Structure 1
């Protein structure tokens, strides 16, 4: 939602300042200039990126209106789920979680966290790591290296749409210059005919440069930055799982392993120690039954 608020502030301040300096808003209405700039930038964006990145950019831009993907309660549930898994592993051994990780959708342990089960990629990451622990006999150092590679790959794929939008923003001033040059070409072509409208045509050409810069730094650039920030924040859930699993593999008890993971979260999303402690009681009761 802040993306819309920021865009409104930019538009209001720029246009408001222009009007207060005795500018005429209709002078900025140059649909052909806008067609050249926006159409050229969109065409270049489609040419430069594969379909998956194009779809991801549209999806991620729309997702900004919904706020963070994982909220504080989601992290409470995630930490509680990890605690349940570690408690079961401590009680029954690594093989005790095998039936749960093979089919999380029908698992009594995972089904207690319906919101998280719908997060396919997060659950898949968790269960894949547990499979390595169950069947791979890996030490913490080996597992950490493997998880770092996987998280880096996931991050690269997730942030690709944001980078693509940022590159499109960088191209907008250039397309603004293209629109301005074409406007000057049109103006020069009319010098031998009617010279009374030359000033209007030159003003329209300069609007092209203005629109390219405004769209770059006022709208599309901030949009790409917001998409990148959201990817960074959403990736904390995967980092949280990684740290908890490594702590458990190093022999820490479930509460300490979960506390390691809790400390890795950003302060805005991190649940309090006592809040998590109180929440752990209900999931433990469900698993025990």
Structure 2
């Protein structure tokens, strides 16, 4: 909602000041469809040329994140830490073999079934199961596990950042595409140089609308959307970093409570549960 509110406020300030200062919407309304055809079509064409079909679909999916924001809130982090506490506590008290029923078929695990959101998050549940499975295969060097996890999470982060980079590239190109539309308008005007000044003035005004739209779309719409998407991806990536922090701390031989506390410290401040809140959730899992 904040994104939509900011966009509305942008339009009010830009066009409100234009109208208040005596400007007329007539030339804009007349020229916008043709200028948008040029600028928007060229921007879409360059976007398709520079991205794969997977990247295009990923970017379209990213618009949902721009509108909704990060999907992980405090309850999601509390549930994740509670599940991780159960798993590392089980491994500490009964050995890694006790994890096998939970990590081999998480959909049938009583532990995962208590947290359906985590089970539905295929990436998170897969990471938890894969690295606990590696521990069961005697790959228990915490430094090695941490290095492998860091590389996988970096790969995932870079893939999730692609839509933001694609939108930013489009934003960088839009001012130049606006100039292209303006130059075409000037060419059209020069071909009608024998017309009266009033006609030429209207045609030049229409040509300048291209430059206006290119700059407005770049710095007022597409660029901010790219920045917003980048922020959402960075915030959501913390969810997986919490998993890494807990598992690595556990592999260093720390108690389950200490391992979970290290994960809690990784949660973004606005969503981080207090020590007491997490302790109550953990006690519920123990019960």
Out of 255, 258, 261, the position equivalent to 1:259 is 261
Deviation of 1:193 after TM superposition, in Å, equals: 4.4
Deviation of 1:125 after TM superposition, in Å, equals: 1.1
Deviation of 1:265 after TM superposition, in Å, equals: 1.3
Deviation of 1:176 after TM superposition, in Å, equals: 0.2
Deviations 1:200-255 (A, max 9, x none): 01011111001000000000000011111111000001100001000000011011
Out of 127, 130, 143, the position equivalent to 2:129 is 127
Once residues 221 and 208 of structure 1 are traced to their aligned partners in structure 2, the CA distance between those partners, rounded to angstroms, is: 18
Verify: 1:156 aligned to 2:158, yes or no.
yes
Deviation of 1:195 after TM superposition, in Å, equals: 4.6
Once residues 146 and 247 of structure 2 are traced to their aligned partners in structure 1, the CA distance between those partners, rounded to angstroms, is: 9
Verify: 1:205 aligned to 2:207, yes or no.
yes
SS in 2 for 1:269: coil
Q: What's 1:190 paired with?
A: 192
Verify: 1:115 aligned to 2:137, yes or no.
no
Verify: 1:9 aligned to 2:5, yes or no.
no
Q: What's 2:142 paired with?
A: 140
Once residues 136 and 219 of structure 1 are traced to their aligned partners in structure 2, the CA distance between those partners, rounded to angstroms, is: 51
Q: What's 1:92 paired with?
A: 94
Q: What's 1:28 paired with?
A: 28
* C-alpha RMSD of the superposition: 1.1
Distance 1:171 1:136, change over 3 A: farther
- Correspondence 1:166-185 to 2 at 5 A: 166-185=168-187
TM-score by length of 2: 0.97
SS in 1 for 2:254: coil
Once residues 137 and 207 of structure 2 are traced to their aligned partners in structure 1, the CA distance between those partners, rounded to angstroms, is: 67
Once residues 63 and 105 of structure 1 are traced to their aligned partners in structure 2, the CA distance between those partners, rounded to angstroms, is: 27
Out of 212, 218, 221, the position equivalent to 1:219 is 221
Deviation larger for 40-49 or 23-32: 23-32
Q: Say whether the 8 Å CA contact 2:65–2:232 is kept in structure 1.
A: no
Deviation of 1:64 after TM superposition, in Å, equals: 2.5
Once residues 26 and 262 of structure 1 are traced to their aligned partners in structure 2, the CA distance between those partners, rounded to angstroms, is: 57
Out of 270, 283, 287, the position equivalent to 1:268 is 270
Deviation larger for 4-13 or 253-262: 4-13
Q: What's 1:66 paired with?
A: 68
Deviation larger for 178-187 or 84-93: 84-93
Once residues 12 and 67 of structure 2 are traced to their aligned partners in structure 1, the CA distance between those partners, rounded to angstroms, is: 20
SS in 2 for 1:240: helix
Deviations 1:41-68 (A, max 9, x none): 0111011001111111111112322232
SS in 2 for 1:196: helix
Q: What's 1:105 paired with?
A: 107
Q: Say whether the 8 Å CA contact 1:112–1:283 is kept in structure 2.
A: no
Once residues 84 and 18 of structure 1 are traced to their aligned partners in structure 2, the CA distance between those partners, rounded to angstroms, is: 61
Q: What's 1:55 paired with?
A: 57
Deviation of 1:27 after TM superposition, in Å, equals: 2.0
* Stretches of structure 2 lacking an aligned partner (at least 5 in a row): none
The number of aligned residues is: 285
